[in-house]
Amino acid sequence: MKRISAFSGILLLSGMLATGVSAQERFTAETMWKLGRVSDVQMAPAGGTFIYGITTYDLATNKGNRDIYRLDPNAESPRKLTDFKGSEINAIWRPDGLKIGFLSAESGSMQIWEMGPNGENKTRISNIEGGINGFAWSPDMKHIVYIKDVKTEQDAHDMHPDLPLANALIYDQLMYRHWDNWHDYAYSHIFIAPYTDGSIGEGKDIMPGEPWDSPLMPNGGMEQITFSPDGQKLAYTCKKLKGKEYAVSTNSDIYLYDLVTGKTENLSENNPGYDQDPLFSPDGSKIVWRSMATPGFEADKDRIMLCEFNPKALDGMKKTLEKKNPKTGKTAIMTSQVYTDLSEGFDQSSSNFAFSADGKSLYFISGIHATFQVYRLDLMTKKITQLTQGDHDIQSFATDGKDLIITKMRHDLPTEVFRVKPDGKEEQLTFTNRQILKNVRLATEQKRWITTTDGKKMLVWVILPPDFDPNKKYPALLYCQGGPQSAVSQFFSYRWNFQMMAANGYVVVAPNRRGLPTFGQEWNDQISGDYGGQNMLDYLTAIDSVAAEPWVDENRLGAVGASYGGYSVYWLAGNHNKRFKAFIAHCGIFNFESMYLETEEMFFVNYDYKGAYYDDPRPKSYDFSPHNFVRNWDTPMLVVHGGYDFRIPYTQGMQAFNANQMLGIPSRFLFFPEETHFVLKPQNAVLWQREFFGWLDRYLK
């Protein structure tokens, strides 16, 4: 085996524990579910003060609760603003900064509430039948936009009214289920309602009768809907397709709705891939959104697309674009807008856009080398500057005119809020979990660059157990990432938690193998159609390199992963040449042929498999299906799956478990009937961790 000769250093993961208190406790699943989860930081219009949410969980009741907090400059601690029995979400400042709005189900269904800046005078201001899912004020505060589900199609009881007790779903086309929900004949629609101080008028559906969703399902939110600065226009994201056309396409678009005329215009109809998250410039002359060029490819580079509404102000850049509409085949001449890819030549994806107050710069988040940082783009020169540094994942940011206010996480740090000065110096502002973690022993981490079989450099995180002793020998786990295009960055996971793996005495090897973003689009794109190719060699290179260390017991190696990581485990089980002594596969793909016709977003398998198994010629990628290598399986395996996982249906897990059982290989099937592609309920998550480490301890210790 080849020993690693190059790595960038060892990082001590103890920043959050600099309290002077002796560390004694082990990081456990129970500890993890005590942690508060920080999210959705919103700066006050005047800057300085911000609000945010903290979600906490009660393991005994198996429930979570989210409250809203406010932190003022120089305050010693945050102020808790809400204490309803249920969760409060979507907290935002009214544009004048005099009130805070939020959503709460305190009155039965999710409605809009307002309160004063200090949490005073909480008042429900909406009474919308069925409740709503998100809202925002127009900048002039004359309107509120909200989203709610609207039933536009007939269900079984509409078709058979004389059978009120019948329980059936009837479908005539694709996309009848998505991720974790069966289609319920309703769609998320956008409503605009007049607003006066503390009162909402009747909302107008701007998509009446339309059979599509805005925001995009299942994960889109209010970031996909935005008002123009004058409050007269609304830009929104929508994928206006149905049935098979919807299932095989990623072609969402940016639509511009005029509140005065009621007309809607498609701003991105010439792009066949994803277009999402529109944002107006402060003067309303421009709009940006993130855009993918490749149709059907959900992990393409997210470009920064700029649309300018006033070409005459472009100082020599005025031009007429003549492009063919891929939907109609017709050529359209567009002179009212000019489109520019601001990220051309920038080999990274971009998201979370924010204009500077003067509209001359655009801030955004982008991933580089398995970290996520804040960047600034000068709109005049197109120069892009990286503003933050360090091994961390910045999840969101805001500007207060001079400093950046960011939320970030690391492998050793659940999300907290920081201030970043112009010179790059950071100041931690929130300490949500300091008391919980102050006595917990955390791991150390190595950041290594390993040479792959084709001569490339691959970043690998190596997480070492607390109180690591290089004179001892430890079992090691190869962590296989999902996605497949999802970076092994500095995430703090509440399931695949590297701290917990290390705390249980395992060295964790987490490679950024081929097919992961933040290392350029070529590295990202290589995996499609090549699931069992170079990325699997990358996995083996990573584990072989670390296993050569004197403190790793090469006879006690395991491989674990979920989603594409679960597929990776199944594939390695038939191709690992006796390297591993234990496997754990969660929601993995076992059989490409059955998966092709069982999943829901058909564009995913069409692009990554390069077609259907019944195509002629048959795509080579089906040769990489793990079920083809079952004859080589010989290693104990824990298989995990959720009953509401519609992306990779649980029948894939059943096939893998049954194969193990028929071959007489020690195996266990851990099935969660009410979980999805993810395990989200607290007690289920703790049970998951117990079974996870119980299996590993049985075969690796």
DSSP string for residues in 542-559: HHHHHHTSTTEEEEEEEE
- Sign of the alpha-carbon torsion through 515, 39, 683, 499: positive
Arithmetic mean of pLDDT, 570-580: 98
What structural domains and CATH numbers belong to the chain?
441-700 (3.40.50.1820)
Separation of alpha carbons 105 and 93, rounded Å? 19
Q: Contact, 663 vs 610, CB < 8 A?
A: no
Whether 586 is a known active-site residue: answer no
Nearest to 366 by CA among 489, 506, 494, 222: 489
Q: Contact, 237 vs 253, CB < 8 A?
A: yes
- As beta bridge partners, residue 177 has 182
Task: Name the residue with tokens 């197109």.
Answer: 382
Give residue 315's pLDDT: 40
Model confidence over 431-459: pLDDT tens digits? 999 999 999 999 999 999 999 999 999 99
Looking at this protein, which amino acid is placed at residue 622? Y
In three-state secondary structure terms, 325 is coil
Between helix 534-547 and helix 564-573 the angle, nearest 10°, is 70
Neighbour count for residue 102 (Cβ, 10 Å):
23
In three-state secondary structure terms, 699 is helix
17, pLDDT greater than 90 = no
Give residue 180's pLDDT: 96
Arithmetic mean of pLDDT, 667-691: 98
Q: Which residues contact 352 (CB under 8 A, 6 or more apart)?
A: 364, 365, 396, 397
CA torsion, ordered 476, 461, 299, 536, to nearest 10 deg: -40
**Phi, psi for residue 508 in degrees, rounded to 5:** -110, 130
Identify the top-confidence range among 10-14, 147-151, 322-326: 147-151
Arithmetic mean of pLDDT, 668-672: 98
In three-state secondary structure terms, 622 is helix
Type and span of the H or E element at 661: helix 651-662
Q: List the catalytic residue out of 563, 621, 625, 667.
A: 563
Give residue 107's pLDDT: 86
Separation of alpha carbons 271 and 296, rounded Å? 12
Q: Which residues contact 608 (CB under 8 A, 6 or more apart)?
A: 484, 527, 528, 529, 531, 621
Nearest to 632 by CA among 679, 587, 665: 665
Model confidence over 303-354: pLDDT tens digits? 999 999 865 543 433 343 344 555 445 443 344 678 999 999 999 999 999 9
Give residue 202's pLDDT: 94
Judged on CB neighbours under 10 Å (0-12, 13-18, 19+), 188 is buried
Percent of the chain, pLDDT > 90? 90
222 pLDDT tier (thresholds 50, 70, 90): very high
Task: Name the residue with tokens 């509404």.
Answer: 309
47 pLDDT tier (thresholds 50, 70, 90): confident
Distinct helix (H) and strand (E) counts, the chain = 12, 44
Whether 157 is a known active-site residue: answer no
| Mean pLDDT value across the chain | 93
Q: What is the DSSP letter of 197?
A: T
400 pLDDT tier (thresholds 50, 70, 90): confident
Structure tokens at 37: 């989860």
In three-state secondary structure terms, 696 is helix
214 pLDDT tier (thresholds 50, 70, 90): very high
Nearest to 644 by CA among 618, 681, 613, 607: 681
Give residue 609's pLDDT: 97
Judged on CB neighbours under 10 Å (0-12, 13-18, 19+), 431 is middle
Looking at this protein, which amino acid is placed at residue 314? L
225 pLDDT tier (thresholds 50, 70, 90): very high
Give residue 61's pLDDT: 97
106, pLDDT greater than 60 = yes
Q: Which residues contact 217 (CB under 8 A, 6 or more apart)?
A: 178, 188
Give residue 336's pLDDT: 62
Neighbour count for residue 542 (Cβ, 10 Å):
26
Alpha helix ranges (H) inside 495-630:
498-503, 521-525, 534-547, 564-573, 592-596, 602-609
Give residue 21's pLDDT: 37
2, pLDDT greater than 60 = no
Q: List the catalytic residue out of 530, 538, 544, 645.
A: 645
Percent of the chain, pLDDT > 70? 93
Arithmetic mean of pLDDT, 593-619: 97
- In a 13 Å sphere around the CA of 645, the CA atoms on its Cβ side amount to 27
Give residue 616's pLDDT: 97
24, pLDDT greater than 80 = no
Nearest to 136 by CA among 218, 222, 46, 50: 222
398-407, 550-559, 563-572: lowest mean pLDDT where? 398-407
In three-state secondary structure terms, 135 is strand
Task: Name the residue with tokens 């009937």.
Answer: 673
- Which residues in 478-509 are b (16+ Cβ under 10 Å) and which e? bbbbbbbbbbbbbbbebbbbbbbbbbbbbbbb
Arithmetic mean of pLDDT, 482-509: 97
- Give the predicted TM-score (pTM) of the model: 0.92
Cα angle value 670/672/678 (rounded, 5°)? 100
Whether 277 is a known active-site residue: answer no
Arithmetic mean of pLDDT, 370-387: 97
Separation of alpha carbons 361 and 379, rounded Å? 6
